[in-house]
Structure 1
Amino acid sequence: MSSGPTLIDLKTERNRRIPNPDQIIIAGAGIAGLTLALALSDKGFSVQIFEKSATLAEIGAGLQLSPNATRLLDRLGVLERLKYASVEPQAICLQDGRSGANLLHLPIGETARQRWGAPYIVCHRADLQNALLNEARNRPNIAMQLQSTVTQYKSDAEGILVRVQYHDRIEEHRGALLAGADGVWSDMRTALSDTDRARYTGTIAWRSSVAVDQLPPAFAALMPPGTNVVAWTGANAHLIAYPIRSGQVINFVAVAPDRNIRRRWDDQRTNNASQDFIRAFAAWNQGICDLMRAGRPWTPWRLFAMKKCQFKIEERVVLIGDAAHAMTPYAAQGAAMAIEDACLLAAALATDGKKWTTALDQFSKARSKRVGAVVRRGALNQLAYHARGPIALARNVVFRNRPADKFVEGFDWLYGFDPEKRG
């Protein structure tokens, strides 16, 4: 049986009831939940967030935010708060992991602003969450309660009734809609179906960060001049590096297969297999091998993904972010998709907020199509990054000879997308 939220039996005893039939209730205060709260606030909705953690501390390290995300953060007043903690890279570069040879150089700095109307930035995940949180705290129509878990819900003619476990008491809250933004292990999603869980991909993203002045010399020599996002490709693995924390630290993500997939992990952030991981890159360029040793400890993060998107649960219950479509990182769009979800949902509700079924049906259809396209792009990127043998040789020829502007043009559908203008 699922331990997540269930339908409320309205005959059971209740400890406390707080009516507010017009508010939107959000389960989860991560990137998706906080962005949704801000987007709804801008549309004039009252918002109540319930977050089961005692403190808001984002797990992870760096993330990339492409123009389709930053234009929305700018409208919400968040991008300005990120200005001093983020970096705007000049280019996206691709290199061969063994030889270190340059394969591709895509200008992204001013190009992003001119072509897509918003910047491409990289930052620490915690800096984004702090920027969202600080902006939310300035909104009088956003309330947040920590150490509170949505345990039950029930739709009725008046809206939705949500039961929340808070310390040693239970509260009941009325709202117009319940949005699940509670991440890849969403209680709300698994309550609907125990079989609809995120699946393990058999691949691990190993994370580390190194101060710029502590980079091994051989590795520093591989880095193209300037501030860039750099990816090194190899057989079944790749490494990505980019600056965070105002450019003082380089964030690294190395993606490789789980060499002991039967291993039991007490905590996916606990590093018990770094030696196996480092050996996977033993034949790579010496600079990268030096980096692997300098970057210890490397923190493993197992990659999970959903087989299909799942947004609308019922008439007044919806999922967004990883709860709806956990995806692998090959397109660098996980955070961006959550931000798009939030803003499009708020726009749909503001346009047709009294016709909940219609609004959520349209939202679900639009987002399923969009996210599906991004997942397919990620799968293609994985094939390109992890190619080996003749396929890798053919890839290198294409990357070296195709004009850069053709590659840039291929991002128009992704980076130029504006969910608030497409409905």
Structure 2
Amino acid sequence: MKAALIDLKTERNRRIPNPDQIIIAGAGIAGLTLALALSAKGFHVQIFEKSAALAEIGAGLQLSPNATRLLGRLGAMEQLQYASVEPQAVCLQDGTSGGELLRLPIGEQATERWGAPYIVCHRADLQNTLLTLARSRPNIAIQLQSTVTQRKADSQGMLVRVQYHDRIEEHRGALLVGADGVWSNLRTAVSDADRARYTGMVAWRSSLGVDQLPESFKTLLPQGVNVVAWTGSNAHLIAYPIRSGQMINFVAVAPDHEAGNRWPVPVDPESPSQNFIREFASWHVGLRDVMRAGRPWTPWRLFEMKKCRFLTEERVVLIGDAAHAMTPYAAQGAAMAIEDACALAGALSADRAAWPSALARFSRARTKRISAVVRRGALNHLAYHAKGPVAVARNILLRNRPVEKFIEGFDWLYGFDAEERKEQV
């Protein structure tokens, strides 16, 4: 499958020689969302992005109401709705039998209960939407093929050195934000102990057109447009529609038998040593058929941060994966990046003297929130990959507990508003 490319090569080199500007390292979801949120408050923003083009291969996203309410305020939902899908339910099913364990309605119920929709989309579509909006803002500049390599705080603010493909320049701003992902230069410069930790698991990603789905797999799909997760011993598979429902995104999470320390990992999809499907040998034939049909699958080794860190030093803030890379079991990676960005923008005022205390409050509140989400992810991991008596007990619970009780269990997560000033979870 070809990579979905967001071509940034035509981006104009608009510079904002403003010492009060906020400098952002990274033009991913976290960086672009922050730029838009800051722009809306009147701040000037300069983004430095090391790539000339952003590529995402087979990467779908689940965006729950805690993220879409913020995207809606930024004006992104109107454009994103043409490429996204609003599923009717999240369904959990047994990977071996294919039988349904639980069905949680999240269609109109999500907007009614949490005030915003639950959607699924391709990551590239979200990034394109955010990029288009950023390009339209006169107080946002995006500089490509540029990496922040050094920084120094002084009485006038933050001075950064930027490495371009053919030169080095210095830029000044009031604040430097690292939104440069799991391998953040700004984070690892603090301490080697802050590096991401490999989890020993791989998320294999692929997608198929709806007309390419094997018939044996179609029989397992619950009626309607849904997010479906099949659970099994030490592994799980998730499927949901993207690209206006014309394609199905698949994510299969399984143990890594060829451990490494890079992410993403180049791989020969035809190599027998990379045949992850063996982890699903005892699963329903329809699931094995769709895995074979979905080749090539792209592997993403899963890393996580042992410690959540938002503040590294004076006038340097981290957000998104740079602050707290997490495993995908709660489907909240992108949502947390969006929350971080909007919460940070909300913490900053025109009074720069108030920033240190405001950033300290931001860090405390976000650390508390992220810790709660990580705990939910760990619980989901246990539930998805259970085996033996634990899996039997899980299935009994899922089939017999009232659906409303499960729905209530998401109120703290999906009903959360990151722009509220109180320190909530």
State whether TM-score is above 0.5.
yes
Q: Given that residues 194 and 307 in structure 2 are in contact (C-alpha distance below 8 angstroms), is that contact kept between their aligned partners in structure 1?
A: no
| Residue number in structure 1 paired with 2:11 | none
| Residue number in structure 2 paired with 1:422 | 421
| Residue number in structure 2 paired with 1:268 | 265
| One-letter amino acid of the structure 1 residue matched with residue 135 of structure 2 | R
| Residue number in structure 2 paired with 1:354 | 353
| Residue number in structure 2 paired with 1:254 | 252
| Residue number in structure 2 paired with 1:10 | none
| Residue number in structure 2 paired with 1:381 | 380
Write the distance in 1 (CA, Å) between the matches of 2:30 and 2:153: 23
**Cα deviation, residue 225, structure 1:** 1.1
**Cα deviation, residue 327, structure 1:** 0.2
Q: Given that residues 52 and 148 in structure 1 are in contact (C-alpha distance below 8 angstroms), is that contact kept between their aligned partners in structure 2?
A: yes
After TM superposition, list the pairs within 5 Å mapping 1:365-376 onto structure 2.
Answer: 365-376=364-375
Q: Given that residues 348 and 360 in structure 1 are in contact (C-alpha distance below 8 angstroms), is that contact kept between their aligned partners in structure 2?
A: yes
Secondary structure at the aligned position of 2:54 is classed as coil
Do structure 1's residue 150 and structure 2's residue 116 form an aligned pair? no
Write the distance in 1 (CA, Å) between the matches of 2:381 and 2:351: 39
| Residue number in structure 2 paired with 1:313 | 312
Secondary structure at the aligned position of 1:280 is classed as helix
Write the distance in 1 (CA, Å) between the matches of 2:263 and 2:364: 38
TM-score (norm 1): 0.93
After TM superposition, list the pairs within 5 Å mapping 1:105-124 onto structure 2.
Answer: 105-124=103-122
Change (3 A) 1:397 1:92: same
Q: Given that residues 353 and 359 in structure 1 are in contact (C-alpha distance below 8 angstroms), is that contact kept between their aligned partners in structure 2?
A: no
Change (3 A) 1:59 1:188: farther
**Cα deviation, residue 297, structure 1:** 0.7
| One-letter amino acid of the structure 2 residue matched with residue 332 of structure 1 | A
TM-score (norm 2): 0.93
Do structure 1's residue 48 and structure 2's residue 46 form an aligned pair? yes
Q: Which runs of 5+ in 2 are unaligned?
A: 1-14
Q: Given that residues 230 and 236 in structure 2 are in contact (C-alpha distance below 8 angstroms), is that contact kept between their aligned partners in structure 1?
A: yes
**Cα deviation, residue 55, structure 1:** 1.6
**Cα deviation, residue 192, structure 1:** 1.1
| Residue number in structure 1 paired with 2:406 | 407
| Residue number in structure 2 paired with 1:291 | 290
Q: Given that residues 94 and 105 in structure 1 are in contact (C-alpha distance below 8 angstroms), is that contact kept between their aligned partners in structure 2?
A: yes
Write the distance in 2 (CA, Å) between the matches of 1:323 and 1:275: 29
**In angstroms, what is the RMSD of aligned CA positions?**
1.6
2:137 alignment partner, one of 132, 136, 139: 139
Change (3 A) 1:352 1:372: farther
| Residue number in structure 1 paired with 2:5 | none
Do structure 1's residue 301 and structure 2's residue 288 form an aligned pair? no
Write the distance in 1 (CA, Å) between the matches of 2:45 and 2:249: 34
**Pairs aligned (count):** 406
Change (3 A) 1:267 1:253: closer
| Residue number in structure 2 paired with 1:282 | 281
Larger CA deviation: 164-173 vs 382-391: 164-173
Q: Given that residues 20 and 173 in structure 1 are in contact (C-alpha distance below 8 angstroms), is that contact kept between their aligned partners in structure 2?
A: no
Q: Given that residues 305 and 328 in structure 1 are in contact (C-alpha distance below 8 angstroms), is that contact kept between their aligned partners in structure 2?
A: yes
Change (3 A) 1:273 1:171: farther
**Cα deviation, residue 84, structure 1:** 0.7
Secondary structure at the aligned position of 1:396 is classed as helix
Moved over 4 A (4+): 263-267, 272-275
| Residue number in structure 2 paired with 1:393 | 392
Q: Given that residues 18 and 171 in structure 1 are in contact (C-alpha distance below 8 angstroms), is that contact kept between their aligned partners in structure 2?
A: no
Change (3 A) 1:275 1:50: closer
| Residue number in structure 1 paired with 2:6 | none
Change (3 A) 1:86 1:420: same
| Residue number in structure 2 paired with 1:233 | 231
Deviations 1:292-325 (A, max 9, x none): 1111111111000000101001120000000000
Write the distance in 2 (CA, Å) between the matches of 1:106 and 1:53: 40
Secondary structure at the aligned position of 1:420 is classed as coil
Percent identical: 76
**Cα deviation, residue 189, structure 1:** 0.6
Write the distance in 1 (CA, Å) between the matches of 2:157 and 2:346: 19
Secondary structure at the aligned position of 2:280 is classed as coil
Write the distance in 2 (CA, Å) between the matches of 1:259 and 1:133: 37
Secondary structure at the aligned position of 1:204 is classed as strand
Deviations 1:365-405 (A, max 9, x none): 11000000000000000000000000000000000001111
Larger CA deviation: 242-251 vs 163-172: 163-172
Write the distance in 2 (CA, Å) between the matches of 1:125 and 1:178: 25
**Cα deviation, residue 350, structure 1:** 2.5
Deviations 1:157-181 (A, max 9, x none): 1110011112222111111000000
**Cα deviation, residue 184, structure 1:** 0.5
Secondary structure at the aligned position of 1:185 is classed as coil
Secondary structure at the aligned position of 2:153 is classed as strand
Secondary structure at the aligned position of 2:113 is classed as helix
| One-letter amino acid of the structure 1 residue matched with residue 362 of structure 2 | F
**Cα deviation, residue 353, structure 1:** 4.0
Change (3 A) 1:241 1:18: closer
Q: Given that residues 210 and 250 in structure 1 are in contact (C-alpha distance below 8 angstroms), is that contact kept between their aligned partners in structure 2?
A: yes
Write the distance in 2 (CA, Å) between the matches of 1:25 and 1:36: 11
**Cα deviation, residue 252, structure 1:** 0.2
Secondary structure at the aligned position of 1:313 is classed as strand
Q: Given that residues 18 and 172 in structure 1 are in contact (C-alpha distance below 8 angstroms), is that contact kept between their aligned partners in structure 2?
A: no
**Cα deviation, residue 186, structure 1:** 0.4
1:160 alignment partner, one of 158, 161, 164: 158
Write the distance in 2 (CA, Å) between the matches of 1:171 and 1:177: 17
Write the distance in 2 (CA, Å) between the matches of 1:151 and 1:292: 42
Secondary structure at the aligned position of 1:40 is classed as helix
| Residue number in structure 2 paired with 1:9 | none
| One-letter amino acid of the structure 2 residue matched with residue 200 of structure 1 | Y
**Cα deviation, residue 360, structure 1:** 1.2
Write the distance in 2 (CA, Å) between the matches of 1:329 and 1:115: 24
Q: Given that residues 122 and 242 in structure 1 are in contact (C-alpha distance below 8 angstroms), is that contact kept between their aligned partners in structure 2?
A: yes
Secondary structure at the aligned position of 2:312 is classed as strand
Q: Given that residues 18 and 173 in structure 1 are in contact (C-alpha distance below 8 angstroms), is that contact kept between their aligned partners in structure 2?
A: no
Q: Given that residues 200 and 304 in structure 1 are in contact (C-alpha distance below 8 angstroms), is that contact kept between their aligned partners in structure 2?
A: yes
Q: Which runs of 5+ in 1 are unaligned?
A: 1-16
Q: Given that residues 352 and 359 in structure 1 are in contact (C-alpha distance below 8 angstroms), is that contact kept between their aligned partners in structure 2?
A: no
Write the distance in 2 (CA, Å) between the matches of 1:44 and 1:229: 38
Write the distance in 2 (CA, Å) between the matches of 1:266 and 1:324: 17
| One-letter amino acid of the structure 2 residue matched with residue 145 of structure 1 | Q
